Amino acid sequence: MANLKVHITFPEEKIKEPIIYEVGKKYQIVTNVRRADVNEKTGWVDLELTGDVSVIEEAVQWMKQRGVKVDPIERNIIE
């Protein structure tokens, strides 16, 4: 199992979408919210992703395609 921590920033139009739930279900990875600040206009989440390396990479790309900004907190995926 690999582990990656990312900082996700949501634009206003994506705040109400269940993106974290969807990515966990779609890619069968474990999502663990470490910190978050969400209001009506903006939001960010520090998220830990656990699963297979290739699946985590696909999940990150999917989130980016959905319109959220994803930045690594730790540069390397830890296995």
- 5-14 average pLDDT score: 95
On whether residue 79 sits in a domain, the answer given is no
pLDDT of residue 56: 96
Q: How many domains does the chain have?
A: 1
Confidence of residue 77 (pLDDT cuts 50, 70, 90): low
Instruction: Give the pairing of strands 69-72 and 30-38.
Output: unpaired
**What mean pLDDT value characterizes the chain?**
92
Q: Which domain holds residue 22?
A: 2-72
Q: Looking at residue 11, which CATH number applies to its domain?
A: 3.30.70.260
Q: Report pLDDT digits (tens) over 25-48.
A: 999 999 999 999 999 889 999 999
Confidence of residue 74 (pLDDT cuts 50, 70, 90): low
On whether residue 18 sits in a domain, the answer given is yes
> Pick from 38, 33, 9: which is nearest to 21 by CA?
33
On whether residue 53 sits in a domain, the answer given is yes
